């Protein structure tokens, strides 16, 4: 049964102004997608695996400095630099705007990871080891990957497929907001929105046209399906002036 809908373009909008850097999305992604556990050894070797990371940066000058955060998953680029370099077509673009990774086709050349400017692809250098007490915690909807293959954020494709199947069984169209990703569900500030960018009425589509919207590294012309909303800068002097005026 083919469930793909040719008119869709799944995308994500991440509001950096709402992100508090709590890393809840990172943990939710790890649990949902059976991402191998990272230990001290992996950190020391620079081999940490995480389909989503939250980068921290500083804005302003001391003492008027503020910590800012930006969560970074696979950008699911329309012009993905990782796709043409794969010699076995293990990574390709589907007709729903997603960058797909076919695990059992991957031969581990890692060309795709070198081609990705966002550094969101991870190679399994080791066979993942799951503690005995966690074996029943693995998500049965997601393949447990083995050593020697490349992996990355899939936009929780198992959830997308489940939602599409359910809509089809009920003989109706998918509703906006019906499918959510694990990172989106975990975000306490609702900084993450997921949906169909081709639907002009979807929340994600409207947010993507916000004045604050931007994409990462536009100079590479990758045309990502992950769109960011810029954080709002408050001019301290102006806001103090406004406060003073409101007290007058």
Q: Is residue 123 within 8 Å of residue 113, measured between CB atoms?
A: yes
> Does 22 sit near ligand SF4 (CB under 6 A)?
yes
> Does 25 sit near ligand SF4 (CB under 6 A)?
yes
> Does 68 sit near ligand SF4 (CB under 6 A)?
no
Contacts of 146 (CB under 8 A, 6+ apart): 124, 127, 128
DSSP structural state of residue 97: S
Q: Shortest approach of ligand SF4 to residue 53 CB, angstroms?
A: 10
> Does 187 sit near ligand SF4 (CB under 6 A)?
yes
Q: Shortest approach of ligand SF4 to residue 12 CB, angstroms?
A: 11
Q: Which of 29, 86, 156, 186 lies at the binding interface for ligand SF4 (CB under 6 A)?
A: 186
Q: Shortest approach of ligand SF4 to residue 214 CB, angstroms?
A: 16
> Does 192 sit near ligand SF4 (CB under 6 A)?
yes
> Does 81 sit near ligand SF4 (CB under 6 A)?
no
Contacts of 15 (CB under 8 A, 6+ apart): 191, 192, 193, 207, 212, 228, 229
Query: Of 11 and 174, which has the nearer Cβ to ligand SF4?
Result: 11
Region of 5-13, 116-124, 126-134, 182-190 interacting with ligand SF4 (CB under 6 A): 182-190
> Does 19 sit near ligand SF4 (CB under 6 A)?
yes
Whole-number Å distance between alpha carbons of 93 and 223:
13
Is the bond leading into 63 cis (omega within 30 degrees of zero)? yes
Nearest by Cα to 86 from 152, 143, 10: 152
Query: Of 25 and 77, which has the nearer Cβ to ligand SF4?
Result: 25
**Kind of pairing, strands 122-123 and 91-93?**
unpaired
Region of 98-106, 172-180, 185-193, 234-242 interacting with ligand SF4 (CB under 6 A): 185-193
> Does 70 sit near ligand SF4 (CB under 6 A)?
no
Contacts of 150 (CB under 8 A, 6+ apart): 90, 91, 101, 106, 108, 110, 112, 113, 121, 122, 123, 124
Q: Is residue 14 within 8 Å of residue 192, measured between CB atoms?
A: yes
> Does 71 sit near ligand SF4 (CB under 6 A)?
yes
Size of the site for ligand SF4 (CB under 6 A): 15
Site for ligand SF4 in 29-58 (CB under 6 A): 54
Laid out side by side, the sheet with 213-214 consists of 192-196, 10-15, 226-229, 213-214
Applying CB under 6 A, which residues contact ligand SF4? 19-25, 54, 69, 71, 186-187, 189, 191-192
């Amino acid at each position: 049964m083919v469930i793909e809908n040719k008119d869709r373009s799944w995308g994500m909008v991440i509001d950096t102004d709402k992100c508090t850097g709590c890393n809840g999305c990172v943990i939710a992604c790890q649990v949902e997608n059976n991402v191998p556990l990272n230990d001290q050894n992996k950190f020391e070797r620079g081999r940490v695996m995480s389909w989503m990371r939250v980068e921290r940066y500083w804005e302003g000058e001391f003492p008027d400095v503020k910590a800012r955060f930006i969560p970074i998953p696979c950008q699911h680029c329309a012009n993905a630099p990782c796709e043409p370099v794969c010699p076995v077509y293990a990574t390709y673009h589907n007709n729903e705007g997603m960058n797909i990774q076919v695990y059992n086709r991957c031969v581990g050349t890692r060309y795709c990871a070198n081609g990705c400017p966002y550094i969101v692809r991870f190679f399994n250098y080791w066979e993942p080891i799951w503690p005995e007490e966690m074996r029943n915690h693995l998500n049965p909807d997601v393949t447990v990957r083995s050593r020697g293959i490349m992996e990355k954020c899939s936009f929780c494709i198992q959830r997308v497929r489940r939602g599409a199947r359910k809509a089809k069984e009920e003989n109706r169209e998918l509703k906006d907001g019906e499918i959510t990703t694990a990172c989106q569900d975990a975000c306490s500030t609702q900084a993450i929105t997921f949906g169909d960018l081709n639907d002009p009425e979807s929340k994600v589509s409207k947010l993507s046209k916000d004045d604050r919207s931007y994409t990462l590294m536009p100079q590479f012309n990758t045309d990502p399906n992950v769109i960011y909303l810029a954080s709002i800068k408050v001019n301290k002097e102006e806001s103090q002036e406004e406060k003073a005026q409101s007290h007058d």
